[in-house]
Amino acid sequence: MDLEVLERSDRHLRILFKNVPYPILNALRRVIMAEVPTMAVDEVIFVDNTSAIYDEILAHRVGLIPLKSDEALEKYLPPEICLKCEQPEVPPELKELCSRCFVHLTLDVRSDEGVVTVYSRDLKSDDPDVVPVSDKIPIAVLGPNQRIAFEARARLGRGKEHIKWSPVTVAATTYVAKVIIDKEACTLCGECVKVCPERILKIEDKELKVIDEMKCSLCRQCVKVCKNEAIKINHYEDKYVLLFETTGALKPERVLNEGLKILLNKIDKFQKSLKAEGVIK
């Protein structure tokens, strides 16, 4: 197996994998989207809300604000345990554990005169490691003499429970294009060069050349305009690209690492189940 990091930033990761089965990469993608935990607001108790927005809408907006979660993964308990702490009567044996489940946030903004915009920076957290990833996310607009005040409780959760807990905004596995040019059939008319949206084709030294195959989006516009059928677009059977963009709650490298750990743990449990049933030794 070989891999190459094609793009890397604070919130984006794009990796080329060679000789890795596509289903494995797709399984990793699904785990990243649905099972890597992050922090998000789960409950909101309103003290006052005289704005034009209903309590339910405000609570929904606050829940969708990404919270920094790198440190939270180490400090707080997983959602499988903390969900039990949301029962009307918490079992005595869980009370101590439940103290390691939640982060409390408060917000209290009043507009005495004029119009005031309430931003994510107005949220005050009792844990400095769990705060909004950006302080510029608008929550609501207050008119004169309006107020929003509430207490919120955040916990770890997974994307399969609600999208607000997913660590990524985009996660995809894509094929790598294979551009085949029949030099004998090509008349160098240049129509394919004109229609290519990614500008990966050019005519140089009386020859049609591919500049960068990796940029090909498999749109096949060049194939459609080539009257002589001199171009064919296929894809490699042993090359795939995994790309994802995070919400900012976790760093891309952390998302990938946590996803791999969860996937390997699932495979290990599956193997143990098969052994327990005598299917394998």
The answer regarding whether domain 38-165 maps to CATH 2.170.120.12 reads yes
* pLDDT number for residue 108: 98
Residue 218 CA, distance from chain mean position? 24
CA distances in angstroms from 200 to 98, 151, 184, 227, 262, listed in the order given:
56, 53, 20, 19, 38
Q: Please tell me the distance from the alpha carbon of residue 28 to that of residue 30, in angstroms, as a whole number.
A: 5
Residue (of 116, 121, 117, 118) closest to 105 by Cα position: 121
* pLDDT number for residue 85: 77
Residue (of 92, 59, 105, 96) closest to 77 by Cα position: 96
* Lookup: tokens for 166: 């997913």
Q: What is the pTM of this model?
A: 0.86
* pLDDT number for residue 88: 65
What residue ranges do the domains of the chain occupy?
2-34+169-243, 38-165
Q: What is the CA radius of gyration of the chain?
A: 26
DSSP 12-62: EEEEEEES--HHHHHHHHHHHHHTS-EEEEEEEEEEEE-SSS-HHHHHHHH
Per-residue pLDDT of the chain (281 residues; tens, 9 = 90+): 899 999 999 999 999 999 999 999 999 999 999 999 999 999 999 999 999 999 999 999 999 999 999 999 999 999 988 877 776 666 666 667 777 899 999 999 999 889 999 999 999 999 999 999 999 999 999 999 999 999 999 999 999 999 999 999 999 999 999 999 998 899 899 899 999 999 999 998 888 999 988 899 999 999 999 988 899 999 999 999 999 999 999 999 999 999 999 999 999 999 999 998 888 87
Write out the CATH class of domain 2-34+169-243.
alpha beta
CA distances in angstroms from 131 to 41, 64, 124, 180, listed in the order given:
11, 13, 8, 51
